Structures are given as structure tokens and as C-alpha cells.
Structure 1
Amino acid sequence: MRTRFLSKLTNGEVEAYLDRNDIIFVPVGVTETHGALPLDSETVLAEAIALKMAEQTDGLVLHNLPYFFAGGTNIARGTVQMSVKDGMAYLDKIAKSLLYQGFRRQIYITCHGPAYLTVSGMIRDFFDETKVPALYMDLLKIAESVSFNLLDVFHEISIGAYQVLDRLEDVPLNMPESSSVTYDFEHMMAGMAKNPGNSLGKYAYQSGAVGSYFHEPSDHMVTPLLKTEEERSAHAAVGVKAIDQLVQALDMASIVEALRQTDLYTQNTILPKYGSNLQK
């Protein structure tokens, strides 16, 4: 295909695609402080992973969704905050539009810790209302499912994602927010220790246990100092390779087929048997 991004296709190209397939990946992003990386770094990472998944499964990607619940980072004036409720409502409208357009298999991708607060609830409500299963894939759970050590290469895949989207030059060089200039891991941990709410986070999933804010913007994600274009390219190369390895390990063909089978099971087994009991 000329491109996998739905909004870059013509209507005729989308309709031709829907005549043969029904898969769309929806990367749900965030715009928030992220060390020396651009504010959209976790959106870009979700989009890059979604693109790689779409290439593996002959799917399309609905991108440009960068404004959702950020969490405790909205103490930073660069962070854009969206409430969980508003984000769910907006995403629900998108999901229903996609379904009516013909995208019966929808896969939502996030690379932001608190994103599940928005996406998981929408996925369940969407299913109960439409009786069509959609799939949510969270980067942390994706990596865990294939024993991929995400923390070892997180900075690299964050930078590599910009390379995947042909945006590597958007990653700035010699930024003061880099860890080796002003901030480091010990600084981040010391800041987090000042927030008593962090001691309560272990009782539920992250950001879902208690409402709290970061002590200061630098406590969210220290990032490496990139001095030269060559250093940036080297980090990106490692990251692109890691993204490819992660997506290959998932066996996306089996995943999208399992989603199709889940739909058939719902329509052909569950609804005939229990349809009268289920909420309309």
C-alpha cells in the first residue's frame, strides 16, 4: 500500500482496503513532559508500534490522537491534561465510527502508564453496547507477554520510534533536560520519595491507586544526553531493531485471527444462547 495511515489515504483507497480486510490499529497517545524528548514521545512510540503491527497484518492505522489523560505530570506547563471520562467518551465515538465504516477488528495501542484508565473502560463499554470485541494492547503488557526487557531499551525505542515515522530530526540535541546534564536517576528517585502518595501506588495498578502529582517535572523520565546527530542515529538504530524484535515476537497474525475468532464466538455462540439476558 502507498501508506498504512488512514488519514493519508484517499477515500477510494480506504474503500478498496475494506473490500478485502477490516483491521485498524489505533495508537492512543499523550502530550506530556518527557525529559529531553519532545512532548509527544509516548504518542510517537505508540504510532510506530502500531505501524509495525499494521505492516505485519495488512492493517491500517488511525493516528493523530495525542491528547488523553496524562496523570501526575500536568504540574509541567507543557503537559496537556484530558480527564479520563472525557477521553473515554471521545474514544468511544471514534470506535463506533470505525465500526460503522467497516473496521470490525480494532486494536488500541498505548505506551503510557496510566492510559489503561481511559482505554480499558472504553473497550468494555464498547463491547457491551455493540457486542463486537475490540482489543487493547498496552506496551508494558505487550513486553511482559513475550519476556521482552523493556527497561533496558526504553530510551532507544523512544528515539527509534521517531526514526520509524521519519521524524528523527524532531529529537533535539544538547537539551538541558538530559539526565547527564542536570537530572539523573538518583535525582528522580529522590523527588519521587518526597511524594507520600508513591507509597500507596503498590495497592493497585499505576496511577489507579491514588491521585497524586509528581514533585517536579524532572521526576518523570530522565533521558540521555544526545550531543551529536551520530549519537542520535545510533540510539535510533538500536531502538528500531528492538521495536522490530518486539513486534515479531508477538506473532501479530495469530493475534488478529484470535480477535476474529472471539467475534465469531460472541456472535455465533454467546448471543444466540444469552442474547436476551445481555444489556442492549
Structure 2
Amino acid sequence: MRTRILGKMLNTEVQEYLNRNDIIIVPVGTTEMHGGFPLDCETVISEAYCLRMAEACDGLVLTGLPYFYAGATASGRGTVQVTVRQGIDYLGAIARSLLRLGFKRQVYMSFHGPAHMTICPMIRDFYDETGVPALYMDCMIQFDKNKDLLTDFLNDFHSITVGAYKVMNRLEDVPLVTGYQHTTPQSCAPFQDLFSLGYQSAAVGYCFGENGDHMSTPDIPDVATRDALAERGESLIDAMVERMDMPHVVEQMRKLEEYGHENEKKYPWMPSAWNNR
């Protein structure tokens, strides 16, 4: 294919694709302060993973979704903050539009900690309304499942960030910077006992007190350093995506929809069955 990114395709190319397949992978991002990295870095990480995932399972990618609930980084002057509810409604409208077009297997991916608050409610409401099981793959969970690939979590996280820009042909957008490494604890560290009582950023409301709270960034003094980070990061992205086994994932989604339709016949009071009478 000339490209797998939906917005770069011709309408006729999308039609040709939908004649043989129905997979769309949607990276859900943010625009938020992130140390010495560009504000859209967590969007770009998600996009890079989704592109590699689409290549592995013959899917398309819907990019261009960088404005969702950021969370504690709202204290940053460059952070664009959208409420959780607004994000749920907007993403749900996109999911319904994609379904009308013929994309029955929809996979949503994010590298952003609080993204589950937006994506998970949409996934469940979408199923009850349509009977179609969309899937959320949390990239942070994929990190946890593949710890053996990582020699040092924080350094490899930074490498993946730079590598993602390389995958998306945007490596030069990563600036050469120094002075963004931080050795002091986060200003909100005294409240860690509260933060740990719930899942990631969903336990309690707060914002970072210092710009340096999110995110410490390694020195990237020259192009050679940036290139080395990018090479390491791209290799980690490729290794993780290979382990995801996307052909198996999308085949399971097809079988799960069939399973759901059988249940709808047995239990017509299920929301998906009731809503589609």
C-alpha cells in the first residue's frame, strides 16, 4: 500500500481497502508539557506503535487525535486540557463514524497514563449501543508485559519517545536540548499514598506544582545522540509490536463479535440486542 494512514489516502484507496478488510487502529494522544520533548510526544508514541501494529495485521491508522484529557500536566502553559467527558463523547462520535464507513474492528491505543478514563467508557458504551466489540490496548500495560526487553525503564522510555518520531518521519522535531534532567523528587511526592489508592491518574484530582515534575528528559546535545536514541527506541517498538501478535488480536476480535451475537439471541434484553432490534 502507498500508505496506511487514513488521512493520507485517497477515497478510492480506502474503498479498495474496505472491500477486503475492516481494521482501523486509532492512536489517542495528548498535547502536554513533557520536559525537553515536544508537547505532542505521547501522541507520536501512540501513532508510531499504531502504524507498526497496522502493518502487522493489514490495518489502517487514523491519526490526528492529539487533544484529550491531559491530567496533572494542566499546570503547564503549553498543555491543552480537554475534560474526560468531552473526550468520551468526541471519541465515541469518531467510533460511530468509522463503523458506518465499514471499520468493524476498531483498536484504540494510547501511551498516556490517564487515557483509560476516556477510552474505556467509550469502549463499553459503544458495545452496548452497536454490538461491536472495539478494543483498547494500553501501551503502558504492554510495557509492563515486556519488561524483559527493557534494560532500564526510564532510559528505554526516552529511547522509545525519540524512536517514535523516527518511525513517523519526524525525528528532526526532537530538539537538541540539555538541562531537563531532574534529580529532585516531584513536588507532589508527599501525596503518593493517595495516588496509589487507585489506577494511575484516576485516584484523586491534582496538578503538578513544578514544570519539572513531568517529565525528566535526558540530555540530547547533538545529532549523534539523538540518532542513537532513535535507533534503540525503534527497535524496542518493533520488538513489542511483534510480541503483541496483531494478526491473532484482530482474529480474536472477529470471533468475539460472533460470540456476542450468539449471546444476543439467547439474551435479547442485553443492551446491544435491545438497541439493535
TM-score of the alignment, normalized to the shorter chain, above 0.5: yes
1:234 matches 2:228: yes
What's 1:155 paired with? 158
Q: 2:171 aligns to what? A: 168
Give the share of equivalent positions with the same residue, in percent: 49
- CA positional deviation for 1:151: 4.0
| Residue correspondence of structure 1 range 1-280 to structure 2 within 5 A | 1-147=1-147, 148-149=149-150, 150-176=153-179, 178-179=180-181, 184=182, 186-187=183-184, 189-194=185-190, 196=191, 198-267=192-261, 269-278=262-271, 279-280=274-275
1:190 & 1:94 partners in 2: Cα distance? 36
Q: Please, which moves more after superposition, 206-215 or 159-168?
A: 206-215
Map Cα deviations across residues 30-73 of structure 1 (whole Å, 9 max, x no partner): 00001100000000000000000000000000000000000011
CA distance change for structure 1 residues 11 and 144 in 2, over 3 Å: closer, same or farther?
Answer: same
CA–CA separation in structure 1 for the residues paired with 2:186 and 2:86: 33
- Residues 1:262 and 1:155: Cα distance change in structure 2 (over 3 Å): same
Q: Deviations over 1:87-109 (max 9, x none)?
A: 00000000000000000000000
The Cα shift of 1:259 comes to: 0.8
TM-score under structure 2 length normalisation: 0.94
Matched positions, count: 270
Change (3 A) 1:45 1:71: same
What CA distance in whole angstroms lies between the structure 1 residues aligned with 2:245 and 2:154? 22
Question: Shift in Å at residue 137 of structure 1?
Answer: 0.4
CA deviation after TM superposition for structure 1 residue 142, in Å: 1.8
CA contact (8 A) 2:105 2:134 kept: yes
Give the 3 Å change call, closer, same or farther, for CA 190–25 of structure 1 in structure 2: closer
- Contact 1:111–1:139 (CA<8 Å) still a contact in 2? yes
Please tell me whether the aligned partners of residues 146 and 250 of structure 1 are also in contact (alpha carbons under 8 angstroms).
no
Does the 8 A contact of 2:28 with 2:65 survive in 1?
A: yes
- Could you tell me which runs of 5 or more consecutive residues in structure 1 were left unpaired when the two chains were aligned: none
Q: Is the 8 A contact 1:35 1:223 kept in 2?
A: yes
- 1:275 partner letter: P
Matched residue type, 2:263: I
Rounded Cα–Cα distance in structure 2 between residues aligned with 1:190 and 1:243 = 28
